[in-house]
Chains A and B, each alone.
Chain A
Amino acid sequence: GENVEQHPSTLSVQEGDSAVIKCTYSDSASNYFPWYKQELGKRPQLIIDIRSNVGEKKDQRIAVTLNKTAKHFSLHITETQPEDSAVYFCAASYSGGGADGLTFGKGTHLIIQP
């Protein structure tokens, strides 16, 4: 099955600086890569996703890049703000056998320092 590695586990940045979170995946059949933001005690919420036919996608201060050859994808947050503090999860969709459940990385705790 799919295995997703996520780094770093904790990331502390100054407000206004950029943050980058990186993930690698193992299954070359995976073709859908979403990112979720989870605040303490709340549900994970989709913030951006990318599919394998696209190399980069941007939505305001958030961007995601995908390198299918190297099997890694990254989340970039620019001009970070206090409300960006949360745990971020990357995921990959394992499409083998008709199943399409997401395999998640272990999460990155992003701390925005004022």
Chain B
Amino acid sequence: DSGVTQTPKHLITATGQRVTLRCSPRSGDLSVYWYQQSLDQGLQFLIQYYNGEERAKGNILERFSAQQFPDLHSELNLSSLELGDSALYFCASSSPRGSSGNTIYFGEGSWLTVV
């Protein structure tokens, strides 16, 4: 158990709909990351938040948005869903370690199926 909690574990929804994925980071971790993993793709970085503020953006579509709340949990909102959005969405968290890079721990993921 990494200490990163994601809900829901599985989600099936129709095209055009909107869903929200939720993530609670490890206790004490200030950074939250979201990654997307499709069947034929690796781990695509979507976005990072640090202590409530957006810190970095990766390949995140405009239909997707995220936020990190004062209690440090984070939500990833996916709207106008398309079949191609079906994927495993991972949340990860890390604590600040200084300038030499942070160890990142992943949650179990949320399986999204768009039908």
Give the interface of A toward B (CB within 8 A).
Answer: 30-34, 36, 41-46, 49, 51-53, 89, 93, 95, 97-107
A31 to B56, CA, bound (A): 18
B102 near A93 with CB under 8 A, answer: yes
**Beta-carbon contact of A106 and B106 below 8 Å:** no
B43 (CB) vs chain A CBs: closest residue: A104
10 closest pairs, A vs B, by CB?
Answer: A32-B101, A99-B56, A93-B101, A106-B42, A43-B106, A104-B43, A101-B48, A51-B100, A107-B42, A44-B106
- Beyond A51-B100, A93-B102: 5 further Cβ-contacts under 8 Å? A42-B109, A46-B103, A49-B101, A100-B94, A102-B104
Say yes or no: A98-B42 contact (C-beta < 8 A), given A34-B103, A43-B107: no
B58 touches A101 (CB 8 A): yes
* Min CB gap B68→A, angstroms: 14
Q: Determine the chain A residues whose CB is within 8 A of the CB of B90 once the complex forms.
A: 43-44
Please determine whether A31 and B55 come into contact, CB atoms closer than 8 angstroms: no
**A53-B100 CB under 8 A given contacts A99-B48, A107-B42:** yes
Other-chain residue from B45, B50, B101 in contact with A31 (beta carbon distance below 8 A): B101
B106 touches A45 (CB 8 A): yes
The winner among A32, A41, A45, A107 for most chain B CB atoms within 10 A is A32
**Cβ-defined contact, B48 with A43, below 8 A:** no
Closest chain B residue to A106, Cβ basis: B42
B31 — nearest CB in chain A belongs to which residue?
A100
Q: Is the CB of A31 within 8 A of B100?
A: yes
Closest residue on chain B to residue A53 by CB atoms? B100
Q: In the complex, which residues of chain B have a beta carbon less than 8 angstroms from the beta carbon of A43?
A: 2, 90, 106-109
Point out the residues of chain A lying under 8 angstroms from B100, CB to CB. Answer: 31-32, 51-53
Known: A44-B90, A89-B43. A100 touches B106 (CB 8 A): no
